[in-house]
Amino acid sequence: MPVAVRPPLRYVGLVVLLAAVYGAAAWLGLRYVTIGYNVSLVWPPAGLAFAALVLLGLRYWPGIAIGAFLVNAATPIPLLGAVGIALGNTVEALLAAALLRRIAGSRPQLEDPRQTRRLILVAAPAGALLAGLIGVGALVVTGALESRAVWQALPVWWAGDLLGMLVVAPVLFSWIARPRVRDTRRLLEVIALVVGTAAAADLGLLQGLAYLPLGTLEYTYLLFPFVVWAAVRFGPRGASLVTLVVAAVAVWHTARGGGPFLLDSVGGTLLVVACYLLVLAVTGLAVASAVWSERDRATHALQQSEERLHLALDSARMGTWYWSVENNTLTWDENLGRLYGLGPGDAVTSYQQFIARVHPEDREFVSRSVQCALETGESLDYEFRILLPDGRVRRIADLGRVGRDPEGKPRYLTGVCLDVTERHASEERLRQAHRMESVGRLAGGVAHESNNQMSVVLGAASFILRRSDLPQPVRDDVEHIRRAAERTSAVTAQLLAFSRRQILRPTVIDLNALAITWETVLRRTMGEDCTVILRPGDRVPAIRADAGRLEQVLLNLTLNARDAMPKGGTLTVETFVANLSEDHARARPGVMIRPGTYAVLAVTDTGHGMDRETLSHVFEPFFTTKGVGHGTGLGLSTVYGIIKQSDGYVWAYSEPGRGSTFKVYLPVVGPEETVTPASAPIPVRAGKGEWVLLVEDDESVREVARRALDEGGYRVLEAANGADALALLSGTDGRIGLVLTDVVMPGMSGRELAGRIAEMRPGTPVLFTSGYTDGDIVHRGLLDPGAAFVQKPFGPETILRLVRERMEGASLPSRPQEPV
């Protein structure tokens, strides 16, 4: 089993290795000594030491010191001079590495212009200058260099170390600090570039080329395009590598006494070579840094733009596509594949494969739309349905445009697709809600007039039936009239229930108790050929609802189930507790669901069921699948209205041949609220001669109400409008026991009349009545919330009971006073 190398041993090993590598590089540099024994044209160890301390860390400086000392000690210079030069080389690497690491860290990125500027303008020049001062000073002190040669040696020393750091170090930074090239083709291209540059450099730096029209053309600076090409194509990696190759060829030729840089003096030759190589190195690094930094910024911006685009496409459930008309090649992105239900290995690559996934009923429409776009050049903007692999149907909106060649021939179509299934469903629900609201407004208007007239019919029928001298045929006819009026009133009430404009009197109800109480009625309603199963849930909390209306809901659902099972079946009534969460709200877009605990009443039948189209209209008023004369189509819409007005939800679940289930969700009340006990009806007590001011603009309704009050023991003052009522009050000083007034009247409304009466006769109770519902008149500002109100139509007994309750509630003296 291998043993991990301990950190101290690893450190020592790297120091020794660094000293050996430094020594090998120094040996190479000493082969091209130009001044004395140690001043070289290019000093590769400087770049090597600089790069090593940047990449490994400053604490590895002993490797530089040891390697530099051993190399210089092997030369004829004194031992003290070797120590000084080693000190200079070590301090040079430490200073340059520290300056670069301050902004670049241990992994320099020469694509960053800031780091490149720090390398070229600060780190390398400062380190090389310090090394030159210390090294040349050590040679002078030890006598290895004459003092008169200092000004010749110091620039060469500085230039040699500077070139070493600018030529060698960038290669190490680019090829060691960065990941290796993984693209084989690019790696081969780099190798070809290096070899070609070496060949061109060897040819160009060795001799000139005679070109007749231009005369003699020197190759020296024609190598710059190679460096620029490498910088643009491969960044600092390519630029540094090509610069190193050119520098190696240039130094080799110059040291051998060849090349274009030879001048009469050694100093001039060194200056020319140094300037050439410095310009070459700086050009390559600067161009690479500028180009690649801009490229990185552009790439980063493009990546951010693509990420935002993908995020937008994902959020909007959109996908993009491209279809080449010329070769029938279709390309989809991943989002579009997901919209069509494609798996990871599935692909749609042709127009025919796309058409095969379109809903059969929409294929001809899609084909015509695409053909029209190709022929006319118009953009695509249409919706169609698709079939997913699991059989589900989704609705897709497609938006695209046609691309044409210069001759106008269509070459391609490209565009985006959006899943609009949920939006389409929400729009349909909104249209349905608007239809229901329109019917509700219509119901309110119809109810006003119908309720007024039914009040007259029911009142007149009640008066006639009280007589004892009627022949039986006449009594039967009147009973038919009364029942017809009650049925008409019931239809009006159902319309009001659907439109949520009826009056509810909610109390705390035990849902289980209500279902159990109705078990006998349910069995009788369903008949002997149907089985009724009652399954009350455990610990179902109480709810707040109008008990009578909730019974109507249960009865309507039962009647609907009976009609769905003409040949018999099973009716199951269940109660249980359910929690509606945010997930339920997301599953039903367009429905405002309040999360919380709900008591559920579920009614299930085993009838013929409903398809999806029928199910979407099941709660609409007057919608029915029954024959003419078999139902009004208001049963389920009444259920919908009552439950909605009770702050609940009702949803239907059905499939053809599998029956239907209607689930009613009603919010539960807190544990501190107790079930309201049922109260026995209070008998109507006769009046004791109190005066009632009756204000009603409809003469027939006023006559019925007057007669009911008169026969109930009250004395009545009649007025057809608010002005007449105020005139009657002004003309009498007696106490008025109660004012019974219509709300909507010409001239002065019932509310305005009540305000004037409160000023004239403070404390006089007022009872409002109207053919509109209290919700309508409160919403229209015709009545204050909580005002005493009786809904038309009403019979004589109803009006007498409410008048008595209102009088007693106002705590007025019951002794009548005669109006004067």
Q: What is the pLDDT of residues 332-376, one digit of tens each?
A: 887 888 888 887 777 888 888 888 888 999 999 989 988 888 888
Mean pLDDT of 520-536: 84
The pLDDT value recorded for residue 95 is 93
Which one is predicted more confidently, 180 or 751?
751
Question: Do the Cβ atoms of 49 and 89 come closer than 8 Å?
Answer: yes
What distance in Å separates the CA atoms of residue 423 and residue 302, rounded to the nearest whole number? Answer: 32
> What's the whole-number mean pLDDT along residues 680-686?
62
Q: Residue 768 above 50 pLDDT? A: yes
Q: pLDDT class for 813, splitting at 50, 70, 90?
A: very low
Q: Which whole number is the average pLDDT over 132-152?
A: 83
Q: pLDDT higher for 633 or 471? A: 471
Contact 404, 355 (CB under 8 A): no
Q: Is the CB of residue 649 less than 8 Å from the CB of residue 591?
A: yes
604 CB neighbour count, 10 Å cutoff = 21
443 forms bridges with which residues in the sheet? Answer: none
Query: Phi then psi for 64, rounded to 5 degrees?
Result: -65, -45
As a whole number of angstroms, the distance between CA 10 and CA 5 comes to 6
Write down the pLDDT at residue 94.
Answer: 92
pLDDT tens figures, 343-355:
777 788 888 888 8
Pairing of strands 393-404, 410-419: antiparallel
Q: DSSP character for 668?
A: B
Distance set, CA 139 to CA 37, 80, 153, 302 (Å): 10, 9, 10, 57
Pairing status of strand 569-580 against strand 530-535: parallel
The two three-digit tokens of residue 27, written as one number: 């040996």
**Main-chain dihedrals φ then ψ at residue 455, nearest 5 degrees:** -60, -40
Lowest mean pLDDT: which of 13-17, 54-58, 193-197, 244-248? 193-197
In the three-class reduction of DSSP (H, G, I as helix; E, B as strand; rest coil), residue 130 is classed as helix
pLDDT for the residue numbered 799: 82
Q: What is the pLDDT of residue 199?
A: 67
pLDDT of 814 strictly over 80: no
Identify whether the C-beta of residue 15 lies closer than 8 Å to the C-beta of residue 60.
yes
CB 767 within 8 A of CB 740: yes
pLDDT at position 816 is 42
Model confidence, pTM: 0.44
pLDDT digits (tens, 9 = 90+) for 538-592: 888 888 887 777 887 888 888 888 888 888 888 899 999 888 876 666 666 556 7
**pLDDT tens for residues 698-750?**
888 888 888 888 888 888 888 888 888 888 888 777 778 889 898 888 888 88
Q: How confident is the model at residue 214 (pLDDT cuts 50, 70, 90)?
A: very low
| Summary mean pLDDT of the chain | 77
Which is nearest to 669 in space by CA: 576, 512, 541?
541
Is the N-terminal amide bond of 566 cis, ω within 30° of 0?
Answer: no
> pLDDT category, 819, cuts 50, 70, 90?
very low
Q: By three-state DSSP, how is residue 329 classified?
A: strand
Which tens digits make up the pLDDT trace of 57-69?
Answer: 899 999 999 988 8
* pLDDT reported for residue 774: 56
Q: What is the pLDDT of residue 318?
A: 78
Q: Could you tell me if 129 and 104 are in contact, meaning their C-beta atoms sit under 8 angstroms apart?
A: no
User: Six-digit token pair at 29?
Assistant: 């540099």
Is 3.50.40.10 the CATH classification of the domain at 316-419? no
* Region 781-791 average pLDDT: 71
Tokens, residue 646: 């009770």
Give CATH for domain 691-809: 3.40.50.2300
Q: Which CATH architecture has domain 507-667?
A: 2-Layer Sandwich (3.30)
pLDDT, tens digit, 9 for 90 and up, residues 252-307: 666 666 566 655 555 566 667 667 777 777 777 787 777 777 777 777 777 776 66
- Note the helical H segments in 499-605: 511-517, 519-526, 547-564, 582-587
Amino acid at 169: A
As a whole number of angstroms, the distance between CA 90 and CA 15 comes to 13
Inter-residue contact 572 to 535 (CB < 8 Å): yes
**pLDDT score at 820:** 39
Residue 218 is predicted with a pLDDT of 53
Instruction: Please name the fold of domain 1-178.
Output: Arp2/3 complex 21 kDa subunit ARPC3 (1.10.1760)
Q: Give pLDDT, residue 98.
A: 92
Looking at residue 221, its pLDDT comes to 62
At residue 87 the predicted structure's pLDDT band, cuts being 50, 70 and 90, is very high
How many whole angstroms separate alpha carbon 632 and alpha carbon 642? 17
Chain centroid, CA 20 distance in Å: 61
CA distances to 91, 93, 252, 607 from 46, rounded to whole Å, are 11, 7, 18, 94
Question: What is the Cβ-side half-sphere exposure of residue 392, based on CA atoms within 13 angstroms?
Answer: 9
C-alpha dist (Å) from residue 309 to 232, 312, 391, 402: 29, 5, 30, 22
**Per DSSP, what are the bridge partners of residue 572?**
533, 604
Residue of higher predicted confidence among 443 and 3 = 443
Alpha helix (H) ranges present in 565-651? 582-587, 612-616, 635-645
Q: Is 620 in a helix, a strand, or coil?
A: coil
Question: What b-and-e string marks burial along 440-476, b requiring 16 or more CB atoms within 10 Å of the CB?
Answer: beebbebbbebbbbbbbbbbbbbebeeeeeeeeeeee
- pLDDT confidence of residue 430: 73
CB 395 within 8 A of CB 419: yes
* Whole-number Å distance between alpha carbons of 412 and 404: 7
Task: Give the whole-angstrom CA distance, residue 214 versus residue 712.
Answer: 131
Q: What is the pLDDT of residues 38-53, one digit of tens each?
A: 445 678 888 889 889 9
pLDDT at 4: 46
